A and B are shown apart, each in its own frame.
Chain A
């Protein structure tokens, strides 16, 4: 019958009318966030950081700036390098997480927030003081040891640096905790003997590279 489809259409909208609205009222309600969420406000543990600048090297955009100085005051406490600058220009960050993947000491973590909008680009540069003072709610991105504990960065307490590292890397933890170097170190944790690639040195010394002038003749 003509018009029956009009009634069907009306019934469809009426059915939707009785449904619960899909909208999430954002500031009051939130969508559930995955613990691996790669958010802003990077979590940085100064105690774990050696200033190796792996993160700065691996950053595809080059927005991490690290300046270190040899520490004069506390070599006995293991402060081989003192971090002067750790700037992350977060306004160009694409949150790829490569810096976190590159960090050998589990010192850098993705954050879990997304509400750090500012009015100017200058305010978007996170400096070392900001990183020191920020609450440590590390995302579990690329950190299986955190994910195994079931840590939820949006709900749970901030984590101390001793709680976040990989357990097998005890030498690092011990070194950073007490820096009791005099205590005997287990042999499996000792670094290998420095290996010098002598073959390369000898080869290059034995056969000199021909100069362009000789090759021409």
Chain B
């Protein structure tokens, strides 16, 4: 029998899926081959993300080692490359403990719920020309929706562990995630206005000038906000080792801990991939038609280096500084960026409603000026806000006194 995907099928653009579907369709019924092809794609995606997470854990340890004037893991395999494998084997042989007072079902679901959004996020990212698993027309919305699962997973972990430190970590984590979601979404709106579409493919093809030049403020806000959502070091109050031991994953051991760690490292890669797609031009570059994947991976590597660099440099912020940074600094910046972009697009677009390359360069010039002025003004303003005002007496004040 011959199975052919309908033209209206959302997976029709995915070449690999179509090839598998038609190949399997020669021997199996169409319904079965539809599922088989889907499973094959999921296998590739999940393993790609998890292998990438393992590789990135090694890369990050090496990089941070070099930032600290150390060498980093270099004993096993070429340049210590097999270190993630050794870590994995070690974690697999550990006992898988569940606390006595834990909510066992929720406790067991959490690692899956942490890994799933990371893998799902990659589904709409185009690795090269026409290589996204799905070319969703609401891709950016999908990414935002899927990443929000992480906050639920963190809260599930904190609540089900029956541990106060885990609960502290989860509360902090959810506060941070919800706060930073707002400026991140607002900064993405500028990109959506410029591209005129939420599909990531369209965003990539709209970047005649990479959007981090056109939208420097949005790029900065998105970088900082994503860094906070990933729970990485300047913003890692949710799992602050020196304060609340390990935060929400304090009770996890063995393979569950391995999954949570894989989710954290994989999340950096997927966030980098999303950021590359939205701001750095995705797979576009010289010879993009057949070297697109190389450009994509190179840009991911650059962003991952930036993440490691930031992690190796900055100490942890306090929770109130962190939330002040989100609400008093990033949110106004993203709103200003949104308004500036909207005005520029309104005045610069031609009759058909499209922007050409010259318009984008003009916008880049304007937006760099806006970004510099905003950073200067808001930086000076927030400088007074994040500083603790006098001795801290809030703890002994009654609720009525403390305003």
Contact B70 A22 (CB under 8 A): yes
Q: How far is the CB of A12 from chain B (nearest CB, A)?
A: 7
Contact B67 A16 (CB under 8 A): yes
**From B66, B309, B382, B383, contact of A10 by CB (8 A):** B309
Indicate whether A216 reaches chain B with its CB closer than 8 angstroms: no
Contact B69 A13 (CB under 8 A): no
Contact A2 B380 (CB under 8 A): yes
Indicate whether A19 reaches chain B with its CB closer than 8 angstroms: yes
Q: Which residue of B lies closest to A9 (CB)?
A: B313
**From B69, B313, B379, contact of A22 by CB (8 A):** B69
Set of chain A residues within 8 Å of B65, measured between Cβ atoms: 21
Indicate whether B397 reaches chain A with its CB closer than 8 angstroms: no
Set of chain A residues within 8 Å of B67, measured between Cβ atoms: 13, 16-17
Indicate whether B342 reaches chain A with its CB closer than 8 angstroms: no
Q: Which residue of B lies closest to A6 (CB)?
A: B314
**From B70, B309, B313, B379, contact of A3 by CB (8 A):** B379
**From A2, A3, A14, A19, contact of B69 by CB (8 A):** A19
Q: Which residue of B lies closest to A21 (CB)?
A: B71
Contact A16 B68 (CB under 8 A): yes
Q: How far is the CB of A7 from chain B (nearest CB, A)?
A: 10
**From A10, A16, A17, A25, contact of B310 by CB (8 A):** A10
Q: How far is the CB of A172 from chain B (nearest CB, A)?
A: 51
**From A1, A6, A10, contact of B376 by CB (8 A):** A1
Indicate whether A23 reaches chain B with its CB closer than 8 angstroms: yes
Q: How far is the CA of A165 from the CA of B380 in the complex (A)?
A: 76
Q: How far is the CA of A14 from the CA of B313 in the complex (A)?
A: 9
Q: How far is the CB of B188 from chain A (nearest CB, A)?
A: 22
Q: How far is the CA of A13 from the CA of B315 in the complex (A)?
A: 12
Q: How far is the CB of B67 from chain A (nearest CB, A)?
A: 5
Set of chain B residues within 8 Å of A17, measured between Cβ atoms: 63, 66-67, 309
Set of chain A residues within 8 Å of B312, measured between Cβ atoms: 13
Contact B313 A12 (CB under 8 A): yes
Contact B376 A14 (CB under 8 A): no
Contact A2 B71 (CB under 8 A): no
Per-residue CB contact flags for chain B residues 44-83 toward chain A (1 = under 8 Å, else 0) read 0000000000000000000101111111001000000000
**From B66, B314, B375, contact of A9 by CB (8 A):** B314
Q: Which residue of A lies closest to B380 (CB)?
A: A2
Set of chain B residues within 8 Å of A22, measured between Cβ atoms: 69-70
Within 8 A of B (CB), among A1-60: 1-3, 6, 9-10, 12-14, 16-17, 19, 21-23, 25
Q: How far is the CA of A22 from the CA of B67 in the complex (A)?
A: 11
Set of chain A residues within 8 Å of B70, measured between Cβ atoms: 21-23
The size class of the interface chain A forms with chain B is 10 to 19
Q: How far is the CA of A9 from the CA of B309 in the complex (A)?
A: 10
Q: How far is the CA of A25 from the CA of B68 in the complex (A)?
A: 16
Contact B68 A2 (CB under 8 A): no
Q: How far is the CA of A14 from the CA of B68 in the complex (A)?
A: 10
Q: How far is the CB of A131 from chain B (nearest CB, A)?
A: 36
Q: How far is the CB of B377 from chain A (nearest CB, A)?
A: 9
Q: Known contacts A2-B382, A3-B379; is A13 also within 8 Å of B309 by CB?
A: yes
Per-residue CB contact flags for chain B residues 275-313 toward chain A (1 = under 8 Å, else 0) read 000000000000000000000000000000000011011
Q: How far is the CB of A23 from chain B (nearest CB, A)?
A: 5
Q: How far is the CA of A22 from the CA of B375 in the complex (A)?
A: 37
Q: How far is the CB of A56 from chain B (nearest CB, A)?
A: 44
Q: How far is the CA of A21 from the CA of B70 in the complex (A)?
A: 5
Q: How far is the CA of A19 from the CA of B71 in the complex (A)?
A: 11
Set of chain B residues within 8 Å of A6, measured between Cβ atoms: 314
Contact B66 A21 (CB under 8 A): yes
Q: How far is the CB of B115 from chain A (nearest CB, A)?
A: 30
Contact A2 B376 (CB under 8 A): yes
Q: How far is the CB of A100 from chain B (nearest CB, A)?
A: 37
Contact A21 B310 (CB under 8 A): no
Contact B379 A13 (CB under 8 A): no
Set of chain B residues within 8 Å of A12, measured between Cβ atoms: 313
Set of chain A residues within 8 Å of B71, measured between Cβ atoms: 21, 23, 25
Q: How far is the CB of B60 from chain A (nearest CB, A)?
A: 13
Q: How far is the CA of A149 from the CA of B74 in the complex (A)?
A: 40
Set of chain B residues within 8 Å of A10, measured between Cβ atoms: 309-310, 313
Contact A1 B379 (CB under 8 A): yes
Q: How far is the CA of A19 from the CA of B65 in the complex (A)?
A: 12
Q: How far is the CA of A10 from the CA of B311 in the complex (A)?
A: 10
Q: How far is the CB of B66 from chain A (nearest CB, A)?
A: 5
Within 8 A of A (CB), among B12-68: 63, 65-68
Q: How far is the CA of A202 from the CA of B212 in the complex (A)?
A: 107
Q: How far is the CB of A31 from chain B (nearest CB, A)?
A: 15
Q: How far is the CB of B379 from chain A (nearest CB, A)?
A: 3
Q: Which residue of A lies closest to B383 (CB)?
A: A2
Set of chain A residues within 8 Å of B74, measured between Cβ atoms: 25
The 3 closest A-B pairs by CB, nearest first: A2-B379, A13-B313, A22-B69
Question: Chain B residues in contact with chain A, CB under 8 A?
Answer: 63, 65-71, 74, 309-310, 312-314, 375-376, 379-380, 382-383
Question: Chain A residues in contact with chain B, CB under 8 A?
Answer: 1-3, 6, 9-10, 12-14, 16-17, 19, 21-23, 25
Identify 24 residue pairs between A and B in the complex whose beta-carbon atoms are under 8 Å apart, listed by A's number: A1-B375, A1-B379, A2-B375, A2-B380, A2-B382, A6-B314, A9-B313, A10-B310, A13-B309, A13-B312, A13-B313, A14-B309, A16-B66, A16-B67, A17-B63, A17-B66, A17-B67, A17-B309, A19-B69, A21-B69, A21-B70, A22-B70, A25-B71, A25-B74
